[in-house]
Amino acid sequence: MTPHTIRPGDVLHLTRAASVQFIRPITVRVIRVLTDRHTYDCWLWIDAYELDAAGDAVRRRTLFLMPAGATRLEPGPRRPAPRRPIPGRVMVA
């Protein structure tokens, strides 16, 4: 995986192969690749949402990683957010 193949919306599994900071593997959804930051060759910065086991975003993170060590996952089906009634309005199904 090269920096150019990581795109917003990609779901990545990050382990120590991507960076020593990932002692505990995490799964993230990429928000954007930060191309304006200087890095070592073959490394990059990303903004991403850390995902829990259900695939929900639990924390926003800025991460420094080696894309070759990241594993791309297929995004799972997203369940729609529950609709909340607006006070004074009747909801129609």
> What is residue 92's predicted lDDT score, i.e. its pLDDT?
64
Q: Is the pTM of this model over 0.85?
A: no
- Residues of the chain where predicted confidence (pLDDT) is lower than 70: 1-4, 75-86, 89-93
DSSP assignment string, the chain? --GGG--TT-EEEE-TTT-TT-SS-EEEEEEEEETTS---TT-EEEEEEEE-TTS-EEEEEEEEE-GGG-EEEPPPPPPPPPP-PPTT-----
Distance CA 26, CA 71 (A): 11
